[in-house]
Every structure is written in C-alpha cells, then in structure tokens.
C-alpha cells in the first residue's frame, strides 16, 4: 500500500505523523510519499519540498505568493497522477489540498481521495462541503459534530477524535523542578502562532500586554514554545519585551512549559486545544490584514473562533480579534484569570468537557484515523 499525504503547517504535520504511526501498526509494509514537516519525516516521509512554503493564511497574505503556491499545487497533483497511490490524503490546508484533489480527479477519476480535518462549514462558507464532495471521497473529522455536514454533501465521514488528547504530557516531578529552578511567579505562556505573518502581528501586542502584567506581577516569568520555521523571527521580535521570554523549541521542553504555566495568551487555532489538554487557562488573540479580517467577519456563522468554547458549548475563553487585538483590552482579561479563581475554574471545567468530547481516554486518534482510511478503502 502506498499513500500520498500533504500537510501544510505544523498542526497538519502532527496529524499526519499520528496517522502514519497508526497506519504502520495496521499495515506494516505501507509506504508514504508527499509533503510534510519534521514529525512526518520521522515517520518515514521524504517531503517533495519544505512544508513551510504552504504555511500562509489570509487572502491578503496569500496573494503575493499565489504564483508559487499554484506551482506547488501542480507539482503535487502531477506526483499523485504519476505515482498512482492507493489513496491521496490531504491534511487540513483545504485551500491548497482541495485544489490538488481537483486536478487529480480531473485527470484520474478513479483515484481515491481522503481529506483529514473536515472544513469548518459550520463556522463559515457552508457551501464548501458540496464543492468539496466533487473531489473528495472520504473525510476524517476531528470534532464530534462534523460528520453530518460531510455526509449530507455526499461524502463518507468518520469522527476519529483529536490527536491532542493522545499527546504525552510532562511528568509533574519535572514540572515542579523546572518551576523551582526558574524561580518566577506567576508563569505565563506566550504563543504568538506558528506562521510568520501571525508572529509579526501578535508579538508586538503580546509585548505590550507583558508590560502591563509586569506592573502588577514584577516577578512574572514568560515561556514561549515555538517551531523552527519561525524561531528566528520570534527571537528578533521578543528582544525588547519587558519580560524576556525563555524560548523553547524542543518537544520535551514544550511539554514541560505547558504543564508549568499558570495562564496563557495564544493565537487562535489548534493551540487552544493543547492548552485545554494541559488545563491551562487562556485568552485568545488574533489579527490579520484588515481585508482578510473584514471578509472573515462577513462570512462567519458562529460567535466564537475558539475550539474550547465551541466543543464545550460555552463562551468562557475570552477572545480579542481584529480591532480588539489590543494590549489595553487583553491585559485586563489575563490579569483577571490570575486573580479570579472562579474564572479559572470555569475554564478548567470547559476544558475537561472538551477533552472528553474529543476522545480523551479512548483509542489514539491517529490509530482511529488509520482504521477509518482502511475501512473506506475496503
């Protein structure tokens, strides 16, 4: 069996690696081709080109790189058409992967296509499911309420759980030793994103937030886990932060940081679920170009972008998006979490419910995803 996988960003790389690990358990002689990051490489994938070429989000951000992205779409499609894999599996990044699937299906209609991560048609652009069904046969959904949207459009779909529930956590003994060694309190987690455009917009805002936090908590510490593709930018943009962060790149250090933190300020996205898995209270901040932000708001069908709020059906995690992504609004919410145990308890209850609904304690989602692919192919 040969599978062609395409991931376009770090969260997709994690999903892809978990799926690949599950596949190797069920089909030991499986082979992999496609595009991925370091985690998928560790599972046996040689990427056609660096995955971070695809890590771009927002209409205004994509336009300058449109020609290069279009060439990569063609390159991936040609590789699938010529290689004739058992299945092509696009992992998230729908604007890229669905274009690849379209070219593949037009040239080779019998090619089996899978998309891992159902597009959020419940949040915006609901007609995407019907368009997607022209090129995609089967969908792997991360959220329990998504399969009906996909099956209504004509695709098969399984809820496979979210990989965040199976990610290892640091031992509490290591976390205690880490905090004692640093000697700072409270400990904040700063997460400005995994895309360069996100970091460029959020790092200055987080720096201003930290100045306000330091006024109230002069002994506060800051941990900043990041990924190699933006580590240089993170280092440059945090040089003048009023609290110098400890920048962390290795996975074990990141796990300790997530366990050691008292609160977090994070970019919108999958990271909110990582924080929930570690029960870290959070505030969410996000900004894009004015054009991209305006279009997103015009098309939104929901009143929150934070997955913890959505899955738990609460609104306990505060969000500061677009014009509200300002230090004078974010800092009070962060300070409230540090001062108000009731707010913290409400978030932790929502996180507990979120993790239960995403499959915590059950079969690893990567293995469930692999089983779903095999059942579909059978």
164-180 residue pLDDT tens: 898 889 998 999 999 99
- CB distance 220 to 242 below 8 Å: no
Task: Provide the pLDDT for residue 119.
Answer: 85
Given a cut of 70, whether residue 73 has pLDDT beyond it is yes
User: Do 52 and 11 belong to one domain?
Assistant: yes
Query: Residue 61: pLDDT above 90?
Result: no
Instruction: Record the pTM.
Output: 0.78
pLDDT at 292 over 80: no
Same domain for 179 and 153, yes or no, is: no
Give the separation between CA 191 and CA 199, rounded to whole angstroms.
Answer: 9
Q: Do 238 and 220 share a structural domain?
A: yes
41 and 21 part of one domain: yes
Same domain, 178 and 305: yes
Q: Is 205 among the domain residues?
A: yes
Under the banding of pLDDT at 50, 70 and 90, the label for residue 54 is: confident
Identify whether residues 94 and 107 lie together within a single domain: yes
Residue 214: inside a domain: yes
Residues 226 and 148 in one domain: no
The answer to whether residue 284 is domain-embedded is yes
Same-domain pairing of 40 and 133: yes
On whether both 27 and 70 belong to a single domain, the answer is yes
Residue 316 lies in a domain: yes
- E strands, the chain, are 2-7, 31-35, 87-91, 113-116, 138-141, 156-159, 187-191, 221-225, 246-248, 263-267, 282-286, 319-321
273 and 329 in a single domain? The answer is: yes
Give the CATH number of the domain where residue 26 resides: 3.40.50.2000
> Would you state the pLDDT for residue 52?
85
Structural domain count of the chain = 2
Q: Are residues 140 and 180 in the same domain?
A: no
Residues 35 and 130 placed together within one structural domain of the fold: yes
Backbone φ and ψ for 3, nearest 5 degrees, come out as: -120, 140
Q: Which residue range(s) make up the domain with 260?
A: 172-357
Q: 167 lies in a domain?
A: no
Does any domain span residue 341?
yes
Q: Is residue 147 part of a domain?
A: yes
């Amino acid at each position: 069996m040969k599978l062609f996988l395409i991931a376009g960003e770090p969260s997709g790389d994690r999903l892809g690696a978990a799926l690949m690990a599950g596949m190797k358990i069920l089909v030991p002689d499986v082979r992999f081709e496609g595009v991925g990051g370091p985690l998928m490489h560790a599972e046996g994938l040689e990427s056609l080109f660096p995955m971070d070429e695809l890590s771009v989000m927002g209409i205004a951000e994509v336009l300058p790189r449109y020609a290069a992205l279009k060439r990569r779409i063609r390159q991936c499609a040609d590789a699938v058409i010529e290689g004739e894999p058992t299945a092509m599996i696009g992992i998230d990044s729908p604007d890229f992967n669905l274009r690849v699937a379209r070219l593949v299906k037009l040239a080779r209609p019998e090619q089996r296509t899978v998309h891992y991560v159902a597009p959020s048609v419940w949040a915006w652009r609901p007609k995407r499911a019907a368009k997607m069904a022209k090129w995609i046969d089967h969908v792997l959904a991360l959220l329990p309420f998504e399969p009906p949207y996909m099956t209504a459009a004509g695709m098969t779909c399984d809820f496979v759980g979210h990989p965040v529930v199976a990610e290892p956590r640091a031992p509490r003994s290591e976390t205690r030793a880490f905090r004692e060694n640093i000697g700072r309190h409270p400990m904040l987690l700063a997460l400005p994103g995994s895309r360069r455009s996100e970091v460029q917009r959020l790092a200055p805002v987080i720096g201003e937030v930290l100045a306000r936090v330091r006024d109230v908590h002069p002994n506060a510490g800051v941990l900043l886990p990041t990924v190699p593709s933006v580590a240089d930018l993170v280092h440059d943009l945090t040089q003048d932060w009023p609290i110098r962060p400890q920048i962390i790149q290795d996975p074990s250090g990141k796990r300790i940081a997530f366990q050691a933190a008292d609160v977090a300020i994070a970019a919108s996205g999958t990271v909110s679920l990582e924080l929930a898995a570690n029960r870290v209270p959070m505030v969410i901040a996000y900004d894009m170009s004015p054009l991209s932000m305006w279009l997103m708001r015009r098309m939104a069908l929901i009143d929150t972008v934070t997955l913890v709020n959505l899955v738990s059906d609460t609104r306990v995690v505060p969000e500061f998006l677009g014009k509200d992504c300002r230090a004078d609004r974010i800092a009070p919410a962060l300070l409230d979490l540090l001062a108000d145990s009731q707010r913290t308890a409400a978030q932790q209850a929502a996180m507990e419910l979120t993790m239960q609904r995403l499959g915590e304690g059950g079969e690893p989602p990567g293995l469930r995803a692999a089983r779903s692919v095999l059942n579909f192919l059978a």
